Structure 1
Amino acid sequence: MKVYISADIEGIWGVVSRKHIAGESGDYLRARKLMTQEVNLVCEELFRNGVREIVVNDSHGPMDNIIIEDLNPDVSLISGYPKDLSMMDGIDETFDCAMLIGYHPKAGTEQGIFDHTYSGRIVSKLTINGEEVGESGLNALVAGHFGVPVVLVAGDNKVTWDVKKEIGDIETVAVKDTISRYCAKNLPYNKLKKSYQEAVAKAVNNIEKYPIKKHNSPLILQLEFFQSVMVDKANSLPQVRKLDSKTVEFHAKDPVELYKLFRALVTLASGVL
């Protein structure tokens, strides 16, 4: 069995402060260690349940957060930026399932830890064929394009609620309960380990029961920005149609095309910050 893991940092156990997610401080290094530790915890359980191959894609910020020398030596790591499929780089039809670890809730989630969708200063709301999604739902759609089900999502309790709507009845691990955007009650570590033991075992031993996220073609994406000037930048692409002062729309033939164009729009909009 071959498993794909996309790992973000905001939803990692113990990560709550802005100092934890970027910068030069020792707090960011600690968070990177916690991220590596949690990914190792998942991989240990995967191997225990008969998985033969694991590929981990570092999916936060500069995408070089996981400390490779501390990573399980039997795991492959995709590290660095830019990457063609960003948070889902490396996914293809050879994987039996995918897991999203360290994830956070979508933009606008009340009291969600670091709530945002790809870029906290740019994306206000993202909908695909009328369904509002965050990073979990969008990335599950990309996995679904290759016939790969997302079987487990871990992060704060708000994102584990989100994925039940965005993906379906899959396994989740809530590593912390949110109190505010920068505050959470973290699980005791021993309970965290037990939660992963149970969730991973269920996920890899029942892959056929989990939904593969799909949408009917054409895919229609609507992207609401935080600033109207961002629409002006996005509207320079011929595929894009302006809906109002903060929202654009485009059609895509498949999730990969949609994903790449969405990321291009975010990059264009970032030029006005």
Structure 2
Amino acid sequence: MRALTRLVDAHDVQPGGRDYERGRLLMAEDVNAAIRGAVAAGATDITVNDAHGSMRNILPETLHPAARLVRGRSKHMGMLEGLTSEHDAMICLGYHARAGALGVLSHSFMGHEIEDIWLDGRPVGEIGLAHATAAALGVPMAALTGDDSACAETAEWDASVTTVAVKYARDRFAAELRPADEARAAIEKAVAAALATPRAALPVASGPATLSVRWQSASVASTLLGIPGVTATDTRTVQARGALPGLYRLFGVWMRVAASLTDQPPYC
């Protein structure tokens, strides 16, 4: 729910924000556009995972009846809860560029606490880590929506992913917005086309990967060293090695530890 149509800052996406209630309805409209596209492509089993913040943003009664909703937290796989090797494709809606990029609401998972993430030495954010984890399950990322920065980041990871820019970043909390009807028509059309395009089955990856996270707080890094297999590369950076998607689940544990220590809600 962050780089969705017409949403640009924390007041749009955080409970209690002056435009949050409006924002959650706009979120549902983007999701429903994608569902319509999936149905048009012949999809018969659609799962929607509400993956922002409290993960209780989409009002169930506003969701297209063709889809099931996974709602609430905590979830073992967080933003990818419900994704299995039985799925044919993954669609990512409302994604944003990683921390440090000039994109609308850019951050990596925790706006306050995570400064950088690397996967096998390569800078990564939510887009890349979702792509890699899904690929480890043999599931392709078929389409992604967000601002133009998020779309460009996606193309760097996998140029075959269909992207839809629903806004164009002017700064971190400012954007040029596409008209809502135009943006949602584009989402529906892109998802339908992406799912209708034949894709070769991805081999399920089993080899180990290294995930490194640099935290704002040395306290978080120090505490995480109590988890077996976690090592430090400096006073604020920890890493672990293992196979995805298990490594993604471990990262979720790291974030829950960080949240308990810092007691700061993310601002985007």
TM (normalized to structure 2)? 0.92
Q: Answer 1 or 2: higher relative contact order, Cα 8 Å, separation at least 6.
A: 2
2:245 alignment partner, SS class = helix
Residue 167 of structure 1 contacts residue 213 of structure 1 at CA under 8 Å; is this kept in 2? Answer: no
| 2:60 and 2:69 in contact (8 A); partners too | yes
Q: 1:6: which partner in 2?
A: none
- Which AA in structure 2 matches 1:73? P
Shift of residue 271 of structure 1?
3.0
The C-alpha deviation readout for 1:28-53, integer Å capped at 9, x for no partner, is 01000000011011111211222112
**Cα offset, 1:216, TM superposition:** 7.1
RMSD over aligned Cα atoms: 1.8
Aligned partners of 2:149, 2:22: CA distance in 1, in Å? 24
Contact 1:59-1:87 within 8 A present in 2 as well: yes
2:199 aligned counterpart, secondary structure:
helix
Count of aligned residue pairs for this structure pair? 262
Percent identity between the two aligned chains: 27
Does 2:76 align with 1:84? yes
TM-score (norm 1): 0.90
Say whether residues 1:266 and 2:258 are aligned partners.
no
CA distance in 2, matches of 1:45, 1:73: 14
- The alignment partner of 1:29 has SS state of helix
Give the aligned partner of residue 265 of structure 2: none
Give the unaligned 5+ runs of structure 2.
263-268
Residue 237 of structure 2 corresponds to residue 234 of structure 1: no
- 2:260 maps to amino acid: G
Per the alignment, residue 130 of structure 1 pairs with 121
Structure 2 residue 209 is matched with structure 1 residue 219:
yes
Pair 1:166 & 2:164 matched: no
Relative to 1, partners in 2 of residues 1:75 and 1:197: Cα closer, same or farther, differing over 3 Å?
closer
Structure 1 gaps, min length 5: 1-8
Matched, 1:256 2:248: no
Cα separation, 2, equivalents of 1:120 and 1:158: 17
For 1:156, the equivalent position in structure 2 comes to 147
Name the structure 1 match of 2:266. none
- Pair 1:201 & 2:195 matched: no
Q: CA-to-partner distance for each residue in 1:108-138, whole Å, 9 max, x for gaps?
A: 112x111111111111111111121111111
